[in-house]
Structures are given as C-alpha cells and as structure tokens.
Amino acid sequence: MRLPLKKITDLKIIIILILFIILFKNLNFFKSGYFLFTKNINERQQNYAYDFCENNSSGYVFYIKNKFNLKEKPLIINYHIEPQQDWIFKKDNIYSNSNKIILLNYKKNKTYNFVKIKDLDYWISYDMATPNTSKGGKFFEFIGDLKNLDTEYKANFYKKEIAVLDNVKEIKFDYKKNIKDYDFTPGSSSLGSVTFGLLKEGEKYILSKNNINFDDHDSIKFIKFDNSFDDKNITEIRLHLHDNIDLSKFKILDNHNNECFLIQKQ
C-alpha cells in the first residue's frame, strides 16, 4: 500500500531536520555561534582561535598586544621551534621596538646532548635551539668513565645544514658516504672552538670564553676533540649553554605561568 503524498513529504522534512541537527552538532554550530555573538574578536583570537602559551603561542601575543595597547612591534622570542608571530603586528604597519621583548615557552639552561657515532671520531647532537635564546657554551658534562683531566684540551664545533623536520632523529644518513667525508675545516661549517680541562665546577668542565652561536634550528651539530683526548669510555656529552635572556636584568611587565612573558629593558 502506497503512503499518501502528504505523509511522504512530512517524512522527508523530518529526515532533513534530523540530518541538519546531526550536522550542526558535529560542527559545534551552536557553541561556535555563542562564542561569535558573546566574544569580541580580540577574545576569540586570544583564547579560542590560537594556542595561548604553548606551541606558537599566538593567543598570548594577541593578549599582550591588546592588554598593553602596543603601538610598536616588540622582539618576539619563542623557545620552541615554531613559525614567527610577527604577522600579528604587520597588518597594522607597526614598526619594531627592541625596548620590549615577548618570551614564549621560556626555558633557561639550554643543553645539547651529544652521542658518539661508532667508528667515527666525532660526536653529534640532533638538538636544536631558536634564535636569541643562548649565547655561547658554558660547561661540558661528560657521562661515563672519565678521569680528572690534568691539562687543557681543545674542542671544535661544526654544523651541517638540514631541512627543518618535526622529528630530526628520523633523518637517515649513510654515514660513511655522506658524513664521514664531511668537510670539517674552518669556514661556513665551522662554529668555533673552545678549550677546557682544568677549570671545573662540580662535575662540569668550564669552557673557555666564547660567543659561539648555537641558536640554529636547521642544522645538526658536531664536536671533534684533540686526538690526545681519550673519550672511549664516555657514553654521552652534555653541552650547557649560557642563557641569552637573564630575567633578573629586565622589568617583568606580564608573566603567565613562568612560561610566557612580556619584559622590558631596565
């Protein structure tokens, strides 16, 4: 028996309504509409559209820009490897002002961990840092069986450019072909050299004064020691870096969980 036309039409309408309700629910239509009408654009940018104080931290940058009514673009330093957030200011044609600094995902005491590649005479680190976060090496910390050093030794630092990847440890090298023959000579690949061995603080060997730039998020780092340095019983080397930003020397204008800051030069 065929259904009357009116009942068929009513059934179609009910089915369409059910489908629309399911669609709106999956798209958070009602919640999104509530935020759209109850929150202004600044609140949406700060708290809902972007990470607030993690990853790229765009929400925090919007927050600082609005809270302090910034008319000049400050230096923005993100301690995570993320895209720069300068675009938040560019649309207003705001010019740079280095008097104020926004710190994102702040972390002090940066350390590079180096491991030895079997049968090769250098140490390699896959760790990375972002610009303006450190200023030169501070200590060597040797993990393993190392006797107290009675003389100074020299360590040379090099780098090899790579593409920025989410997981740099997944990069596959044919070491004997591509790395062993790498040109470890002064020039574009050389970061600099330091001496160490006599001055010691706890278990850390103080490096000679240096301003080697380790803030490089698109290269892997190498250490080559003097041939007289015996590293066969060392399992890991930790290079501790000087912090570029010492918060005690700045006026803190805003602090979010000790991770994101707006600071100003004293």
Kindly report, residue by residue over 164-215, the tens digit of the pLDDT.
444 444 544 444 445 555 566 555 578 899 999 888 887 899 999 998 988 8
pLDDT-derived band at 79 (thresholds 50, 70, 90) equals very high
Q: Do residue 161 and residue 179 come from a single domain?
A: yes
Cα–Cα distance measured from residue 95 to residue 76, given in angstroms and rounded to the nearest whole number: 13
Residue 46 lies in a domain: no
Parallel, antiparallel or unpaired: strands 96-104 and 73-78? parallel
Residue 76 has pLDDT above 90, yes or no: yes
User: Strands 111-116 and 96-104, how do they pair?
Assistant: unpaired
- Give yes or no: residues 26 and 55 share one domain: no
Q: What average pLDDT does range 56-60 have in this prediction? A: 90
CB 137 within 8 A of CB 205: no
* Lowest-confidence region among 113-117, 124-128, 135-139, 177-181: 177-181
Q: Are residues 116 and 160 in the same domain?
A: yes
Q: What pLDDT, on a 0 to 100 scale, did the predictor assign at position 166?
A: 47
- Cβ atoms of 56 and 44 within 8 Å: the answer is no
Segment 14-26 mean pLDDT: 67
pLDDT band at 27; cut points 50, 70, 90: low
The average pLDDT across 217-236 equals 87
- Do residues 238 and 260 share a domain? no
Q: Give the C-alpha separation, 123 to 37, whole Å.
A: 57
Tokens for 30, please give them. Answer: 């009602």
Cα separation, 122 vs 47, in Å, equals 46
- Structural domain boundaries, residue 23: 5-36
Q: Is residue 43 part of a domain?
A: no
Overall average pLDDT of the 72-98 stretch = 79
On whether both 128 and 199 belong to a single domain, the answer is yes
User: Per-residue confidence at 263, pLDDT binned at 50, 70, 90?
Assistant: very high
Do both 236 and 202 map to the same domain?
yes
Residue type, 241: L
Q: Is residue 44 part of a domain?
A: no
Q: How many domains does the chain have?
A: 3
Query: Is 123 strand, coil or helix?
Result: strand
Cα separation, 169 vs 115, in Å, equals: 12
Same domain, yes or no: 115 and 220: yes
* The total number of residues written for the chain in this structure: 266
Examine residue 41 and state whether it is found in any structural domain, yes or no: no
The stretch 115-139 carries a mean pLDDT of 86
Q: In this structure, how many other beta carbons lie within 10 angstroms of the beta carbon of residue 182?
A: 14
Structure tokens at 178: 């591509």
pLDDT at 218 over 80: no
Let me know whether 93 and 124 are in one domain.
Answer: no
Is the per-residue pLDDT at 106 higher than 50? Answer: yes
How far apart (Å, rounded) are the C-alpha atoms in residues 42 and 38?
12
Domain-located, residue 166? yes
User: What backbone phi and psi angles, to 5 degrees, belong to 44?
Assistant: -65, -40
Flag whether pLDDT at 236 surpasses 60. yes
By the 8 A CB rule, do 159 and 216 touch? yes
Q: What is the phi/psi pair of residue 169, to 5°?
A: -70, -15
